[in-house]
Chains A and B, each alone.
Chain A
Amino acid sequence: MADFSHDPIESLFHAAFRALPDAACILEPIGGPGDELSDWRYLASNPALCRLIGIDDPTGQRLGHHHPEAARQWAQDFQRVLQRGTPEVLVRQSSRYPQVYEVSLVPLVEGGRRAIMARIRDISSEHFARERRREADARYERLFDAIDEGFCIIEVIFDDTGKATDYLFIEANEPFVQHTGIKSPVGKTMRSFQPDIEDAWAATYGRIALSGVPERFESESIAMGRWFDVFAFPIGEKAPFRVGILFEDIGQRKTMELALRHSEARLQSLIEATSDMIFRMNPQGTLARQVGGKPLLGEVGEESNWVEEFVPDSDRAIVRAALDDAILRRVPIAIEHPVRTIDGTVRWLHSRAVPVLDDQGAITEWFGMSTDITERRSTEHQLIRGAQMLRVASEIGKVAIWDWNVETGELIWSDEHFRIEGYEPGEVVPTFELWAERVHPEDRAEADRKVEQAMASGEDYVNEYRLIQPSGDMRWVSARGRFIYSDKGEPLRMLGAMIDITQRRREEEWQRLLVAELQHRVRNLIGMVRSVARLSAPSHRNVNEYVDHLIGRLQAMGRTQSTLTRSPGSSVDLAELVREELVVHAVQPDLCMVDGPELALSPHAAEIVTLAIHELATNSVKYGALGDTGYIRIMWTTHEKDGKPWVSLRWQETAATPRPKNKRKGFGRRLIEERVPYELGGDGRFFLYDTGVLVELEFPLTSGGSILDTRSSASGLL
């Protein structure tokens, strides 16, 4: 202290210096200007310094004397401050103690003498408190950044009238950006980002800032295009408080909520508008309640045992069983059943219900809907009945039906169609090609042409053709079909029916042959009559006699025809023929003897034999035995000749008195001697004796058809 003069002011400063609560000292560098600094010397120190560093008054001593290592450390700082000429405040950790010091270094220049005043304050407690606070802050910051919600602290800005107009962001966490879209908000006001932000926001935060009462709310910012869920609370000791805002952008959730609400509304509308009945039912399936839609059962009140009350007796057991099964297996049920509604009418419902299960899988209730299917069922029944009628009709009528889908080529045949084509029903897959293959090759082109024509013209397809079954059998069929067209006129389907007309065709054919045969026979007969008439003429000069003969012969021919038509078999009994002819000529039974085995003659042979007997009887009545008291024997036998059966017939007259001979070769004799050999391939002999005529006819027996059995000859003709 001796270096300082002892004037009163100085002494006062000195006293003040010594009284400073903080440790203080003044040091000057050792060595003159330009010398290398080696150390610093205490020019002054106060008691606080001595206490702080635990030494006696160091004035006059070198810094390095007590603390050489501290001297080196401090020397740099002192020198820097001295050179720069500006004070510095440094914070230094003690090298030996856990203390932290605040060191204020002030350069002093007084009359060319330079020094440093150092004031040292122990700020350990402050320092550690700040450290702790900083750590806490960092933790909060990490916490705020870690949460998903946006967080910020604001200071509300009020105008002169006390109205909150804006707010300043003091702090904001990372998610803040993502929830608001605002980047780097700290230090800026809300309106600097969003000038048109609704006034309500600042007003709300202003209210909180003033009242200190936290608020929780959901609000939409149309300006920001976002929905927020907000918790805002006051921060600080007194009003106006800062406001902490914890918030979340709930736009997506809000959109979903709205969508859900719309969806529910729509569902409700649907339930109200539907023509189905929506119902709930207890787990046992006994009590049901209409909850929406159309009350298909009528106004039935709160709850009802619908199976018991509305399902008719006839179906109750089935419905109950189906329901019990679904309950047991806990599976959805879908059944069609009749109900008797409140007004007594019976309607058909299609009911579906699903079980609502709890966590344990037990049924808590059933939820379902019923559709009125009365009309549909009625239509179905009509269709089924119609189809049944068609099937029965087509089966009874043996009508084959086809349905050809022109577009896809699919062809459907009825059972009868398969049968007519020669297949078992379902044996083959019908196709157009298969049908075409079965058509008789000669009728194929015409059938194709008619199908094409019908398709092009829209007129009915009408065709009669032959088809060949796989077995080779030929059938005649009559088919009619019709094409169905689209709106654009394209052929879509061809429906048609076909019947087997083979039998009809055969009968027509047979009829045609019969007519032809009849014509032939009639013409032949007329030709024969003409010939007979002509041949009869020369022997009669008397016209009346000629007519008698001719009529007799024609009647005999007529008898043959009537005999043939009377017995539709293929032959005529010889005995019957002979007896009839004798009866016609009034031959008394006691005047004749007819004897021979039962024998059938062909129509041709019968005709000739009839005429022969006629001629012989006529002659005999006129000239021979029958004109007298004579006797006639007609006998026949059969024998074999060249492997064929032959008949040998004999006509023998025995006259009581000799008769005049008629030597002329008349019609009868020519018949016997010439026609028998000519037409029957046999032999005819005519002998004229005094006692009467002896005729012997021999011819082979051939079977031949009657006029009603000309099929063989007629079909052979074709």
Chain B
Amino acid sequence: MIGRTLRGRRIVILEDDYFQAHDCKAMLEQAGAVVVAVSATIPSLDGLLAKGPIDAVLIDINLGDSVSFDFARLLVCNAIPFAFLTGYDAAMLPDDLAGRAYISKPADHARVRAVLAEIIASRPG
């Protein structure tokens, strides 16, 4: 059921650790999702959307030297579902992003898939 939910979904991964990014990408592809992009830095949203729609984004809060909150806000503006996947506590989220989907590292694959399926399903519109 979950597998079916993610099947064909176009997903972007923002993760600055290569191994984790790769691991995550492999897991999602195994679940039938299409990983549109994997990036260790904050990408251009317009550039990503130019390649096609995005169903969900997995975001690590700390991307090397930069922080991904502004990118998350940009996603909010574009009504693109996302989930934080991070080693930080949920309490570190700024007020306007508190309450957004959050997965604490280390997370098992099933949990990541479940959260992604949920935010895609409850996507507005």
Contact = CB atoms under 8 A, between A and B. Distances in A.
Nearest to B16: A679
A704 B65 contact: yes
B71 to A, nearest CB: 14
B87 A522 contact: yes
Contacts, number: 73
B87 A679 contact: no
A674 interface: yes
A520 interface: yes
A716 B67 contact: yes
B112 to A, nearest CB: 11
Contact of A519 (B20, B66, B67, B87): B87
Contacts of B38: 678
Contact of B18 (A526, A674, A716, A717): A674
A196 to B, nearest CB: 108
A45 to B, nearest CB: 160
Contacts of B88: 516, 519-520, 717
Interface in A693-718: 702, 704, 713, 716-718
A717 B22 contact: no
B105 A526 contact: yes
Contacts of B5: none
Interface string A503-523: 000000000000010011111
A704 B65 CA distance: 8
Interface stretch (A383-391, A471-479, A530-538, A581-589): A530-538
A528 B21 CA distance: 10
Interface residues of B, number: 26
A535 B25 CA distance: 12
B92 A527 contact: no
Contact of A520 (B22, B23, B62, B107): B62
Contacts of A717: 61-62, 67, 88, 92
Residue from the set A516, A519, A520 with the largest chain B CB neighbour count within 10 Å: A520
B87 A524 contact: yes
A147 B67 CA distance: 120
A523 B20 CA distance: 12
Contact of A674 (B22, B89, B104): B22
Contacts of A681: 40-41
A713 B66 CA distance: 8
B124 interface: no
Contacts of A716: 66-67
B22 A524 contact: no
A702 B105 contact: no
A527 B65 contact: no
Given A526-B105, A679-B40, A718-B92, A535 B22 contact: yes
Contacts of A527: 17, 20, 87, 105-107
18 contacts: A519-B87, A519-B89, A520-B62, A520-B88, A523-B87, A524-B20, A526-B105, A527-B106, A528-B19, A530-B23, A531-B19, A535-B22, A674-B18, A679-B17, A679-B18, A679-B40, A681-B41, A717-B92
Given A526-B105, A528-B20, A674-B18, 15 more contacts: A520-B88, A523-B105, A524-B17, A524-B105, A527-B20, A528-B17, A528-B19, A531-B20, A534-B23, A535-B19, A535-B22, A671-B18, A674-B22, A681-B40, A716-B66
